[in-house]
Amino acid sequence: MASAGFAQALDAVLRHEGGYIDHPSDPGGATNLGVTRATLSRWRGRAVSKAEVRALTRHEAAAVYRAFYWDEIAGDALPPGLDLAVFDYCVNSGPGRAARTLQVIVGTVPDGRIGSVTLAAIEGRPLPELVSAYCRQRLSFLEGLKTFAVFGRGWRRRVRETEALALSLIE
């Protein structure tokens, strides 16, 4: 299957992720370009400081996103539009959750790994309906989080904007 492409999906994600933040209600803690301190530490193979998170470059963030998120959800194998929707959810809530949500929607075993069985189950499905169902499930999950009162308005906007862009990418 064709892909809208990592670069395009990354640009969309980074529009939502923004720059450095360290919000006390965010369980991710210090974050820059959407990359948490824990993720950057895992990427670099050692503990990193908040200053190192703050100094994260877009180039390094892109490498982290490619390895830990895009490749984990088989982004290059997903159809245009769906690739973006799954990638954005993956960045926001983790690759396993993003993959399991897709697998539940397409009726495969939700093992958290998008492989040949999940990809085959996507084939022939109407992509606009699949993307919209996926985004509804994502929003339903987010609404159940204890931090929804703090971040919910932004999450709703993010999911709506991601869905709209994803739908526009469907060929």
Structure confidence at residue 139 (pLDDT): 97
pLDDT tens for the chain, 171 residues long, are: 334 489 999 999 999 998 999 988 888 889 999 999 999 999 999 999 999 999 999 999 999 999 999 999 999 999 999 999 999 999 999 999 999 999 999 999 999 999 999 999 999 999 999 999 999 999 999 999 998 999 899 999 999 999 999 999 997
Structure confidence at residue 111 (pLDDT): 97
Angle among Cα 161, 40, 144 to the nearest 5 degrees reads: 45
Structure confidence at residue 13 (pLDDT): 95
How many whole angstroms separate alpha carbon 61 and alpha carbon 40?
9
- Please choose, from the candidates 65, 92, 77, the residue with its C-alpha nearest in 3D space to the C-alpha of residue 9: 65
Structure confidence at residue 1 (pLDDT): 37
| CB crowding 129-146: b at 16 or more within 10 Å, else e | ebbebbbebbbebbeeee
Domain map (residue ranges) of the chain: 6-169
How many whole angstroms separate alpha carbon 163 and alpha carbon 170?
11
The whole model's pTM is what? Answer: 0.93
**Eight-class DSSP state of 78:** S
Q: For residue 99, how many other CB atoms are within 10 A of its CB?
A: 24
The CB-based long-range contact list for 105-110 (8 Å cut-off, 24+ gap) reads 105/130, 105/133, 105/134, 105/137, 106/130
Q: Exposed, middle or buried: residue 149 (CB in 10 Å: 0-12, 13-18, 19+)?
A: exposed
Tokens of 106: 């397409």
Structure confidence at residue 2 (pLDDT): 38
The rounded Cα 122 to chain-centroid distance in angstroms is: 18
Structure confidence at residue 3 (pLDDT): 42
Q: Which CATH architecture has domain 6-169?
A: Up-down Bundle (1.20)
Structure confidence at residue 26 (pLDDT): 81
End-to-end CA distance of the chain: 12
Q: Exposed, middle or buried: residue 4 (CB in 10 Å: 0-12, 13-18, 19+)?
A: buried
